Amino acid sequence: MAHATRFAHPCLQASITAQVDNEAMGRVLIGAGFVLIAAGLFMIGLKHMGLGVGRLPGDLVWRGKRTTVYLPLGTSLLLSVLLSLVLYLLSRMRR
């Protein structure tokens, strides 16, 4: 009786692929954790300098009789620049 070459069952192949994906997801989560820690430290530093989020130059506040409207334009611009920088650096590291 000749034994045919056996290939891994499709379920086992999916399991191996899932392990690789889990490893990649773990790395992404660790990276996201570092980014969140850096963002938290940055916000703490801003508060110590008297520039909390929503209090940067360019942030607009309009107070009416019964309504207050916040337009954090300066904060939005700063966060956009920082996020763009972080994503650019991450893309450069992956190459």
Q: For the beta carbon of residue 59, count every other beta carbon within 10 angstroms.
A: 19
62, 68 contact by CB (below 8 A): yes
Q: For the beta carbon of residue 75, count every other beta carbon within 10 angstroms.
A: 20
Residue at 56: amino acid letter: L
- pTM of structure: 0.48
Instruction: Check the CA dihedral 8-12-13-17 and report its sign.
Output: negative
Q: What is the pLDDT along the chain (95 residues), one digit of tens a residue?
A: 555 555 555 555 555 555 667 788 888 899 889 988 988 888 888 788 877 666 778 888 889 999 999 888 988 898 899 889 988 988 888 77
**What ranges do the domains of the chain cover?**
10-51, 53-95
